[in-house]
Amino acid sequence: MGFGLAATAAAFVLFRAGASAWGRFRLRDYQDSSAADWNAERARLRERSQRAGEAAAGAGCGASYATMARIPRDADLGTAWRAFDAGPGVPLSPEVLALVERYRPELDALRQAARCSDHEPAEGSAWVDHGDLLPVWKASRLLLVEGHGLAAKGDARGALDRYLTAAKIGADMAAGSGLAVRIGAQAAERGYLGVAELVAGAPRLPAAELAELDLALADRGRHLPLLPDVIRKERLALREVAMRLSDGGALPEESPPAAQSLGALALTWVLPTEAVFSLALPLLDAQLRSAEQIARDAQRDPSHAGRLPEVAADSLAIDATWRSPLLDPESLPHFAGQDCAMRASYLLARTAVQAERAYSDGGYPEALPDLAQDPCGTGPLVYRRSPDGHGYTLSSVGENGTTGGPRVARERRVGGGDDIIVARRGRS
């Protein structure tokens, strides 16, 4: 009996060794067949790096998001977030002002990193390593709060600097991992909403400043952090793990499985990681490709976002590869809604500038030509001049794709509607 058990154990060891070699072979073959996508992503970043590198060299700085001063992870900024929701016209409370001043070094470091951003890919990767993302997220939110405080004091130029910096951070984060793109999208959306509300709410900006702002927004729009980028980066991250395993490496320790199905656990008990990964990876990769294409289609026609749950991966593929909880059937449509809201916020900012530049003879025009398509709806963004001609409203239907009542942009998360509305008040 002992001999039989020993023989069985030896056979099992040989079986696992063979399965491991087979898995690495499949992963290496998969890696080779996917090299074009990997190289294309690096070429994309190199193209962005040329301009960013020139700007950084001109500023003579070596700051980066990865090395900037950090707001502590346990910092409680709840009062600051509530101040952001109050809008740019509401003065900050002494408590929030104290928070802004307390983290002044971190905010200054963030602004410097944004000015000196460098988009060189990390060594052996296809995206930029921004380091710990939580401090960037916290600092970018607090930077927006500072912008609101400056707007309330009448410092429109200072407020616009903070809002545009947040939008720049969003564009920079789009050069990073999938999680970085999502954080960047949040920063960008709130930055563009701040610009739109300030332009429509402050005393009319001089023509030269409006022209300068329009150029800055056009530049920011070249690299919006979008949902297809999030999904593509997830697929590249999946391939990066495949590269490690095909070369005999181990799964990264920072990506433990949150929860594994019984099927995935059973497979890992019998087969080595390389073999399990090589079985599940092609399935998950194909589903990510489908999700990315649907997200791109939804940029042209928002109704396509309703197809996203069709590509939700089964738990075996997700658990076995330890990747892509993004493919949860409820998460993808939610991310698609955030994506369209971010793009709508950008377009509303540009349209607010357009409306202000069209002001003449003491009033606003009856209509604006060539209104952009609403990224969340079936028609263009809405522009309505006030009856007296001294104001207007701009609106998008928001994440749910339907009109949900008159709401200002900063109140989108309150109540049943999610319309994004920016208003220039006419005479009372």
User: Cα–Cα distance between 273 and 321 in angstroms, integer?
Assistant: 9
Q: Are residues 23 and 159 in the same domain?
A: no
What is the structure's pLDDT at 416? 40
pLDDT per position as a tens digit, 63-113: 788 888 888 888 888 888 888 777 777 888 899 999 999 999 999 999 999
User: Cα–Cα distance between 418 and 414 in angstroms, integer?
Assistant: 8
User: Cα–Cα distance between 31 and 29 in angstroms, integer?
Assistant: 5
Q: Are residues 65 and 178 in the same domain?
A: yes
Per the domain annotation, does 137 fall within a domain?
yes
Q: Helix axis angle, 273-300 relative to 262-270, nearest 10°?
A: 140
Q: Are residues 130 and 67 in the same domain?
A: yes
> Which of 210-214, 306-310, 403-407 comes out lowest in average pLDDT?
403-407
pLDDT per position as a tens digit, 11-28: 656 756 666 676 677 777
pTM: 0.87
Answer positive or negative: Cα dihedral of 210, 212, 216, 218.
positive
Do 167 and 195 meet the contact criterion of CB atoms below 8 Å apart?
yes
Mean pLDDT of 393-421: 65
What is the structure's pLDDT at 239? 77
Q: Are residues 220 and 245 in the same domain?
A: no
| Domain limit, last residue, from 170, 190, 225 | 225
User: Left (φ > 0), alpha (ψ -120 to 50) or beta: where does 184 sit?
Assistant: alpha
User: Cα–Cα distance between 100 and 83 in angstroms, integer?
Assistant: 11
Per the domain annotation, does 25 fall within a domain?
yes
Domain that holds residue 272: 2-29+241-322
Q: Which residue has the higher pLDDT, 253 or 188?
A: 188
| Domain limit, last residue, from 322, 341, 367 | 322
| Domain limit, last residue, from 297, 322, 347 | 322
Q: Are residues 213 and 116 in the same domain?
A: yes
216 is written with which tokens?
């800055």
For the chain, what is the domain count?
A: 2
Q: Are residues 173 and 301 in the same domain?
A: no
Q: Are residues 59 and 186 in the same domain?
A: yes
Per the domain annotation, does 153 fall within a domain?
yes
User: Cα–Cα distance between 98 and 162 in angstroms, integer?
Assistant: 18
Q: Are residues 53 and 17 in the same domain?
A: no
297: confidence class by pLDDT, cuts 50, 70, 90: very high
Q: Are residues 248 and 216 in the same domain?
A: no
Answer positive or negative: Cα dihedral of 33, 39, 44, 45.
positive
